[in-house]
Amino acid sequence: MPARFTALVDSLPATVPFVGPETQERARGSAFRARIGANENAFGPSPAAVAAMQAEAAEAWKYCDPENHDLKHAIAAAHGVAPENVYVGEGIDGILGLVVRLLIAPGMPVVSSLGAYPTFNFHVAGFGGRLVTVPYRDDREDPQALIDAVRREHATLVYIANPDNPMGTWWPAADIRRMVDGVPDDALLLLDEAYAEFAPDGVSPALDPADPRVLRLRTFSKAHGLAGIRVGYAIGAPALISSFDKIRNHFGISRISQAGALAAIRDPGHVARVRDEVEAARARIGGIARANGLVPLPSATNFVTVDCGRDGAFARRVLQALVGRDVFVRMPGVAPLDRCIRIGCGRPVELDILEQELPAALEIAARG
């Protein structure tokens, strides 16, 4: 007998927001030579984090600490907040799903940007929310338009990433501060700061962690180089943070993941070294793009979005040609953002491959 799905689930398509490089490699029958499409930190995690995870592997017969106590306290200390302001979850993606589950019933409006991070939209659809989108403005999310939509739709939840994925652009802290001030008292701003460690000074605002109108999201996937262990965290008002205990997976962060993240956050020097590597890679990607007649957008992330100068169909041909030449990249999915491709800050050897293969990919794409 078929499973008896709820009417909501029965109405949804089975989708995966991102087609992983492994999926593409299986379809191709070969591995990529340059894996520079998933915004991963190719420079890797702190050696201290690797050692901590190796040591903890022998203890994997034990359940993890369901309170994430040590990690939560270390995160709180790093950000100058109380442990009661911190929730540790299964990456930002997992936290997004829990927030939507907490706040959104079927039919309720949720505001985001057209073309923004698709996993958030996936969760909104999964809980029956009605997604309301506003367009990007000059390749950046539009804070005022988002707040206007919240007020117009009487929305409970609004999402923005600063710095942004997929464009790599950003708003100064003062603009985000004004956006928070504009959030109605009965709404919540999800401020996704996954790439904050790569941004210049003056991008992350000082916000009151007790403000119930904003929930900041951070991750160990990017600057800490630990995408594979799936650990993220939220900083917010204690009443909101404690509400996660109503619905979270209490054993969701493994012992090995907790150990790796704890060692990582105690090694800020490694993040500083990664920042230097990323800055050099961004400059290299920009130079490669310009040498081929393309325009790199300013970036505050560990990737560079490159304007291919034509429409989405042309950019997709460029992407497909690069994939065909063993270079894994991605691109935004919504016009006019889809005139671009997105290139991760890979290691020098991977950027050497990009430099070798991009001219031929552009030639293939130009032929249509």
- Give the pLDDT band of residue 31 (cuts 50, 70, 90): very high
| Structural domain boundaries in the chain | 18-44+269-366, 47-266
The answer to whether the CB of 220 falls within 8 A of the CB of 196 is no
CATH number for the domain whose boundaries are 18-44+269-366 = 3.90.1150.10
pLDDT of 110 above 90: yes
Please write the tens of the pLDDT for every residue from 246-260: 999 999 999 999 999
Q: Give the pair of three-digit tokens for residue 335.
A: 């016009």
Identify any residues that bridge with 305 across adjacent strands, giving them in sequence order: 342
- At residue 4, the pLDDT reads 87
pLDDT of 118 above 80: yes
Q: At what angle do helices 268-291 and 348-366 cross, to 10 degrees?
A: 30
- Tally Cβ neighbours within 10 Å of residue 285: 24
Distance CA 46, CA 259 (A): 12
Distance CA 229, CA 263 (A): 13
| Three-state helix/strand/coil letters over the chain | CCCCCCHHHHHCCCCCCCCCHHHHHHHHCCCCCEECCCCCCCCCCCHHHHHHHHHHHCCCCCCCCCCCHHHHHHHHHHHCCCHHHEEEECHHHHHHHHHHHHHCCCCCEEEEECCCCHHHHHHHHHCCCEEEEECCECCECCHHHHHHHHHHHCCCEEEEECCCCCCCCCCCHHHHHHHHHHCCCCCEEEEECCCHHHCCCCCCCCCCCCCCCEEEEEECCCCCCCHHHCCEEEECCHHHHHHHHHCCCCCCCCHHHHHHHHHHHCCHHHHHHHHHHHHHHHHHHHHHHHHCCCEECCCCCCEEEEECCCCHHHHHHHHHHHHHCCEECECCCCCCHHHEEEEECCCHHHHHHHHHHHHHHHHHHHCC
Please write the tens of the pLDDT for every residue from 193-227: 999 999 999 999 999 999 999 999 999 999 999 99
Instruction: Give me the percent of the chain exceeding a pLDDT of 90.
Output: 97
pLDDT of 1 above 80: no
Please write the tens of the pLDDT for every residue from 285-299: 999 999 999 999 999
Considering the four listed CATH numbers 1.10.1040.10, 3.30.420.40, 3.40.640.10, 3.90.1150.10, the one that applies to the domain covering 47-266 is: 3.40.640.10
pLDDT of 3 above 80: no
- At residue 89, the pLDDT reads 98
- What is the mean predicted confidence (pLDDT) over 123-134? 98
Cβ neighbors of 326 (< 8 A, separation 6 or more) are 30, 31, 32, 33, 34, 353, 357
Q: At what angle do helices 47-57 and 255-265 cross, to 10 degrees?
A: 160
pLDDT of 2 above 80: no
- What is the mean predicted confidence (pLDDT) over 56-70? 97
| Residue position matching structure tokens 């042309």 | 314
- What is the mean predicted confidence (pLDDT) over 71-95? 98
Distance CA 363, CA 240 (A): 53
- What is the mean predicted confidence (pLDDT) over 93-108? 98
- What is the mean predicted confidence (pLDDT) over 61-71? 97
Please write the tens of the pLDDT for every residue from 302-352: 999 999 999 999 999 999 999 999 999 999 999 999 999 999 999 999 999
Distance CA 149, CA 173 (A): 21
- What is the mean predicted confidence (pLDDT) over 143-167? 98
- Give the pLDDT band of residue 91 (cuts 50, 70, 90): very high
Distance CA 127, CA 76 (A): 30
- What is the mean predicted confidence (pLDDT) over 86-112? 98
Q: At what angle do helices 47-57 and 268-291 cross, to 10 degrees?
A: 120
- What is the mean predicted confidence (pLDDT) over 113-132? 97
Q: Give the pair of three-digit tokens for residue 19.
A: 């087609």
